[in-house]
Amino acid sequence: MSLNWFFIFFFISGFCSVLYELVWLRLSMAQFGVTTAMVSIVLSVFMAGLGLGSWASGRLLDKTTPSRKFSALRFYASMELLIGISGIVVPYGLVWGRSLIERVGTSSSSAYYWIAGFWVALILLPGCTLMGATLPVGMRAIDQTLPLEKPRSFSYLYMANVGGAVFGTMLPLFLIEFLGFRGTLRIGALCNAAIAISATLFSSSSTTHFPDQPKPAISSATPAVRGTGILTLLFLSGLTSMGMEVAWVRSYTPYFGTVVYAFASILGVYLLATFIGSVLYRRWSSRWSSENPVVWTLLAVSALLPLLGANPVLLMSHMERLLLGLAPFTGLLGFLTPMLVDRYSRGDPRRAGFAYAINVVGCILGPLVAGFGLLPFLSERWTLVVLTLPWLLVALAPFRPGAKLEIGWRSVACALFVCAGLLIVFGKGYQDMYTDARVLRDQTATVIATGRGMEKQLLVNGFGMTNLTTITKIMAHLPMAFLDRPPQNALVICFGMGTTFRSLRSWEIPVTAVELVPSVPRLFSYYHSDGEMILRSPLSRVVIDDGRRYLERTTDLYDVITIDPPPPLNAAASSLLYSEEFYAVARRRLRSDGILQQWLPALPQTNAVDVAAITRSLRNSFPYVRAFHNEFGIHFLCSNRPLPQRTAAELLARMPEAAITDFAEWEVTPNEGARDATEDRLDDLLRGEINPDQLIAASPQTPSLTDNRPINEYYAVRRWLGRDGGPVNVDASRN
């Protein structure tokens, strides 16, 4: 059997692993909430499974001595088959878990996370553990079939695995666009099955070596301290790289945006550079046995390059920023990580499994340290500096008394330290662009409030969310005025600047607002001078949670639920607030004659496919849907009962005086009072009513937007082919 076949197996396996991680994470978010805690739970369980599997399989193989007639290749085949089965089974387990938690009916967030976290671990851990176990088992298979390749077997499989993972960051995005999440999982399962069948066939035809006596994998003369030092470096590489990844996402979001392809680009550059580094290590290690200590100094400096790549002052393309900031550091880690594991294990699966598990432990702790311990208190810039400090200490290696290094290389190390100092002192982040701003940080995001008067802005991780506009007032007043009776309460999903929340409060009713980012509501008074007074009212309630998860857990009923998902329309995870499954949950939380208001941004930026998908999901979820268009977008009103036909004057008559004053706050002119301005704006909306069926007809083949088919988020192929339908012809769609 050729060594190339092992490369193919682990390349495909690496592709499948990232595919499963991406889809399982998204399906978990759909079932248990798009919160930082839930994302951390899922990713931690995934990484913990990899570490556990690596460690456990290494110990198991250590007890199964080479003298026993045990085919590691056949064992590997069975593991790949089980991984494929888990890929198909996990979604059903997640759905079952959510229904189970709903029946328990816990209202406590902490209790909910404990129960949900336990269930996620129970469902995901078996498959993730099997993924982690494949590396030591693959090493044993190489030892049995190609024993001369044993000493560097880990780095070879690691290189193949990372190479496949590069494709796993992008190819699944195209598969999801056409097949949905479940269909994409089936592709992954078929790939695992193909590996299993091929490996089984090769196990029957290949010559397997079973030595009479076990061969020691590492010399007993190897100093224990050296082994401890290698494990420390592996732990640090996992901790710092994954911690930095959290900071990188925040640093580069202002340039790349919040779509799934932006996050995939960051991960893709990370893994591609890691793969190139591992390839270079394989070539280097065939000739050399020790590295130049200056490489550790270079690693420390490269860890600080994102301070340059994310600097808003420098004129670079987005991809140039990403390559400059990420590629050198991750490429060096791709070189050094397999080197360290090879050096520690020397082909012994048990030691390799243990070393890799230590690296994974660092990978688990890194995002927790960065997301919960550093970023809530420090800027992205200083977070990166803190995470680089361990490498700056390691970088002192060329200056140790025992280091046998030429003066030229010592000079290079000194120059690199100077570069590190310059990067720390002169590095800048996107928030440095806003000198007159309030900046708040939490475990979810960095939030910036800036601007004056009507030019005030809200930025989350450097991306603009909203501005002061009457559009957000319409989201409150239009559905309230259409109610057949005086409203009792209302719910706002997505707080933003708080304008919709404030407008609903002008009706003097209890209003609940649900916001995912804790710092956002704390800036309410920055945008509205009466913000603190409104928040202190007993009629005001702000809940920090995922809006969909809140609706699933609450037992309250509302007269009006108004939804304004964060822009853009194709933002990552935004479909969870546009899907049929979400609307089904929202419908249960409406009173029998209640109204759901859904906002869709301006049509020139919203193509016919997305409009048709969202409109169809609304029509499939509510028996009565009306849509009102103005120059800024569409306001959908949805209800279980027919919505009455009313004139602008009739709507105005149903509004309290405080609501009229609020509506016209930014509309009044010297020649027009609040009542006239409000009536004119309402009249414009009513005259712009659109037939929802005509919006669907603009792209009749487009299916409804569901959790499984997030059409608005995955669009690259159809946009590339020019099949997004273009803008909707609103005039032709009106009644």
- Look at the domain 1-208 and name its fold: Growth Hormone; Chain: A; (1.20.1250)
Reported as a single tens digit per residue, the pLDDT across 674-714 is 999 999 999 999 999 999 999 999 899 999 999 999 999 99
Neighbour order of strands in the sheet with 558-563 = 540-544, 511-515, 490-493, 558-563, 590-601, 633-639, 624-630, 689-690
- pLDDT value for 219: 39
Give percent helix, percent strand, percent coil of the chain, each to the nearest 5.
65, 10, 25
- pLDDT value for 731: 58
pLDDT at 385 over 70: yes
pLDDT at 67 over 60: no
Give residue 427's pLDDT band: very low, low, confident or very high (50, 70, 90): confident
- pLDDT value for 732: 47
Q: What percentage of the chain has pLDDT greater than the value 70?
A: 93
Give residue 723's pLDDT band: very low, low, confident or very high (50, 70, 90): confident
Give residue 210's pLDDT band: very low, low, confident or very high (50, 70, 90): low
pLDDT at 37 over 90: no
What CA–CA distance (Å, rounded) separates 292 from 313? 35
- pLDDT value for 648: 95
- pLDDT value for 540: 97
* CATH number, domain 223-433, options 3.40.710.10, 3.40.50.920, 3.30.420.40, 1.20.1250.20: 1.20.1250.20
- pLDDT value for 324: 94
Reported as a single tens digit per residue, the pLDDT across 450-499 is 999 999 999 999 888 888 999 999 999 999 999 999 999 999 999 999 99
What CA–CA distance (Å, rounded) separates 298 from 416? 7
**36-63 vs 109-145: helix crossing angle, rounded to 10:** 30
Q: Which CATH superfamily hosts domain 469-733? A: Vaccinia Virus protein VP39 (3.40.50.150)
Range name among 318-327, 596-605, 610-619 with the lowest pLDDT average: 596-605
Same fold, 1-208 and 223-433: yes
- pLDDT value for 729: 64
- pLDDT value for 217: 43
pLDDT at 146 over 90: no
- pLDDT value for 212: 47
For residues 310-315, average pLDDT: 88
pLDDT at 629 over 60: yes
Q: What is the DSSP string of 549-572?
A: HHHHH----EEEEEE-PPSSTT-T
- pLDDT value for 65: 56
pLDDT at 401 over 80: no
H or E segment and range at residue 12: helix 3-32
Give residue 216's pLDDT band: very low, low, confident or very high (50, 70, 90): very low
- pLDDT value for 22: 95
What CA–CA distance (Å, rounded) separates 240 from 387? 6
pLDDT at 129 over 50: yes
pLDDT at 553 over 90: no
Q: What percentage of the chain has pLDDT greater than the value 90?
A: 70
**349-368 vs 109-145: helix crossing angle, rounded to 10:** 150
Taking alpha carbons only, the member of 453, 728, 430, 447 closest to residue 569 is 728
Reported as a single tens digit per residue, the pLDDT across 602-628 is 655 578 999 999 999 999 999 999 999
**The amino acid at 672:** E
- pLDDT value for 47: 93
Taking alpha carbons only, the member of 470, 466, 558 closest to residue 511 is 558
- Residue 494 CB contacts under 8 Å (≥ 6 apart), including other chains: 514, 515, 516, 547, 563, 564, 565, 566, 577
If you compute the radius of gyration of the chain from its CA atoms, what whole number of angstroms results?
A: 29
What's the token pair of residue 276?
């190139």
Mean pLDDT, all residues of the chain: 89
pLDDT at 361 over 70: yes
pLDDT at 34 over 90: no
- pLDDT value for 499: 96
Residue 28 burial class via C-beta count within 10 angstroms: exposed 0-12, middle 13-18, buried 19 and up: buried
For residues 104-119, average pLDDT: 78
Reported as a single tens digit per residue, the pLDDT across 661-677 is 999 999 887 677 899 99
Give residue 208's pLDDT band: very low, low, confident or very high (50, 70, 90): low
In the chain, domain spans: 1-208, 223-433, 469-733
pLDDT at 209 over 80: no
Q: 194, 12 in Cβ contact below 8 A?
A: yes
pLDDT at 601 over 90: no
Residues listed for the chain: 735
pTM of the predicted model as reported, rounded to 2 decimal places: 0.90
What CA–CA distance (Å, rounded) separates 303 from 310? 13
First-to-last C-alpha distance (Å) of the chain: 70
What's the token pair of residue 412?
């290079």
For residues 518-535, average pLDDT: 95
554 Ramachandran zone, left/alpha/beta (phi>0; psi -120 to 50):
beta
- pLDDT value for 113: 79
Residue 669 burial class via C-beta count within 10 angstroms: exposed 0-12, middle 13-18, buried 19 and up: exposed
For residues 125-143, average pLDDT: 94
Residue 283: CB atoms within 10 Å: 9
